[in-house]
Amino acid sequence: MKRIIAIMISLTLLLSLCACTNNLKDKPEQQLTETVNETVANNDTEVKEEVPAQVRTDLRIYSDLEPDTLDQDVSVSTSILFRNLYSNLYRINSNNSIVPELAETYTVNEDFTEYTFTIRTDMLFSDGTPITAQDVKFTYERAMAADNDYFIGIESVEAPDDKTVIIKLLEPNNSFLSDMTGEHMAVMSRAAVEGGMDVANCPNITSGAYYVDSWDKENHIIHLKGNPYFNGTGPDITDVTIYYKLEESIYEALRNGTIDYATNIGNDSEDIPYLRVAEGIDLIPYDNCSWNFISLNQLHPQFADDNVRSAIVSALDVNYIISAALSGQGTPAPLMIMPAIAGYLPGFDDSPYDVKKAREYMAASNYPDGFKMKLEIADVSGAAIAEAVKTLLKEIKIDVEIVEEDGNTLVDNALTGNYEAVFLSYSMYSGHVSHAIPLFSNGELHISNGDDTEIGDLLQKSLAVNEKERDRLLSEAYTMMREKWSYIGLYWITVHDAKVEKLKLREPITSERYILSNMYWEQ
């Protein structure tokens, strides 16, 4: 499954050169910020008069997440770029609130199976044509035909007129509005796609703030142009170059002016210490949305023992793991909920570390003298985490053997139950805890192999009720997660963006993506 990933799986790159043609005329580029002097005569005396400096409208970005396609129905790795190319009916703002984007309003029926959206009439594609309900219907039906995972809950999409979209769901889902904010729920132009637009390589008619002007695959560069019709005025920055390969370090590239912004810098990057103290550079830390955890296969008798699982989670000092293995760059995550996820309830995100209690659990288990445990990790990427876990579990007489596997083998072993314990990352792709249901229900992703699916049932029921009842069911489910510990949550990892100081953000960054329309150059 796409949502369970080994921590380090590299992208396959296609080497070719493609360029887009567009019927929009390029706007003349402005000069870099400078002050010029104009000489004027005034009463026979020459006066030096300063002309206001021009603000830059270009931007150079580095990202390590180079896509293999720009087709949002195919690519999983390109979401960081989709946010800039396409707009959604609704989006999540910097306060983690769901707000309208292409839509004006929505209504939902009593059993949460039918959502009706009203489309704004002032939103245009980058070629100046209106964005209509028919475009939404076409986009979603195209994705459904491609068996896109993000659309599996949709039964049908109707567009009775240009402003109205009616989406019928296969099952009740009171969190569907949150699902609508996902990158793959963005809207494409029906006329452009049916007219032969190269969606995979050069989508040059888009609903977002930018369109693709060219993609130089050989040199790993994508060039974007601003959509002059976006929100009526277009973005402040109109010319963006994205580099996916640098000949120098990120720190040097920012210092030398090669780039102005770098995104998704891992906390283990050699650049971080330099960026943290560099003058003229802002380092922006944030937690990404992948939950890092250990799964214990309950087909093995030691992990079917409730006391053993409780002992392990109580023995794992997550703050120690984050400090020792991640240089402090992470947030404890005993459960797969965080404030940015719809369905978050406060009070369930504190770590239960208590080594004395852990020893009591082991003494009460069927394995008071401990046992050996194989912990699989993806190549060397999880080695530091595994070593910290090994150190901590010695306190309760569990001897951890660390086994390195390549990412694909690791995932295959997890999905087939061919493992004892495995360190994984689970992506909450729509930002809603309901997408954890497969981990707790019978099926391919129920990798703990426990015989109890009550947690999954509670999560499922929470989707079909009002807000008060939903929170009660979620609270019950989260409590049960803590009692049963089907999965041992560790942390949300901290990653970083870095930018030059004069490049400003209107809203703080909220997740693992950059929003170019949110940026402007300081005067």
For residue range 175-224, what is the model confidence (pLDDT) as tens digits? 899 888 888 889 999 999 999 999 999 999 999 999 999 999 999 999 99
How high does pLDDT run on average in the chain? 86
CA distances from 60 to 11, 238, 243 (A): 22, 11, 8
CA distances from 244 to 188, 216, 275, 454 (A): 25, 10, 19, 45
pLDDT at residue number 33:
32
Is the entire prediction scored with pTM above 0.85? no
User: pLDDT for 277-313, tens place per residue?
Assistant: 999 999 998 888 789 999 999 999 999 999 999 999 9
Cα dihedral across residues 116, 120, 126, 128: positive or negative: positive
Which pLDDT band, with edges at 50, 70 and 90, does 5 fall under?
very low
pLDDT at 9 over 80: no
Phi and psi at 392, nearest 5°, equal -70, -40
pLDDT at residue number 430:
56
Which structure tokens are listed for 42?
């005034």
Which structure tokens are listed for 456?
């999954």
User: pLDDT for 125-146, tens place per residue?
Assistant: 999 999 999 999 999 999 999 9
User: pLDDT for 474-491, tens place per residue?
Assistant: 999 999 999 999 999 999
Which pLDDT band, with edges at 50, 70 and 90, does 102 fall under?
very high
Which structure tokens are listed for 107?
């209504």
Cα dihedral across residues 76, 153, 89, 96: positive or negative: negative
pLDDT at residue number 24:
37
pLDDT at residue number 15:
30
pLDDT at 53 over 70: no
Which pLDDT band, with edges at 50, 70 and 90, does 276 fall under?
very high
H or E segment at 309? helix 306-315
Q: How does DSSP assign 351-386, residue by residue?
A: ----HHHHHHHHHHSS-TT-EEEEEEEETTTTHHHH
- Are the C-beta atoms of residues 396 and 312 closer than 8 Å to each other? yes
Top pLDDT among 32 and 320 is at 320
CA distances from 348 to 220, 338, 403, 475 (A): 43, 9, 31, 9
User: pLDDT for 352-405, tens place per residue?
Assistant: 999 999 999 999 999 999 999 999 999 777 999 999 999 999 999 999 999 999
pLDDT at residue number 475:
95
pLDDT at 93 over 90: no
pLDDT at residue number 273:
93
Which pLDDT band, with edges at 50, 70 and 90, does 511 fall under?
low
pLDDT at 30 over 90: no
Lowest mean pLDDT across 22-36, 48-62, 222-236, 327-341: 22-36
Starting at the edge strand found earlier in the chain, the sheet holding 164-169 runs 103-108, 114-119, 164-169, 154-161
Q: How does DSSP assign 393-452, residue by residue?
A: HGGGTEEEEEEEE-HHHHHHHHHHT--SEEEEEEE-TTSBGGGGGGGGSSSTT-TT--S-
Which pLDDT band, with edges at 50, 70 and 90, does 508 fall under?
confident
Top pLDDT among 102 and 74 is at 102
pLDDT at residue number 98:
87
Phi and psi at 327, nearest 5°, equal 55, 35
The amino acid at residue 55 is V
CA distance 308 to 305: 5
pLDDT at residue number 510:
62
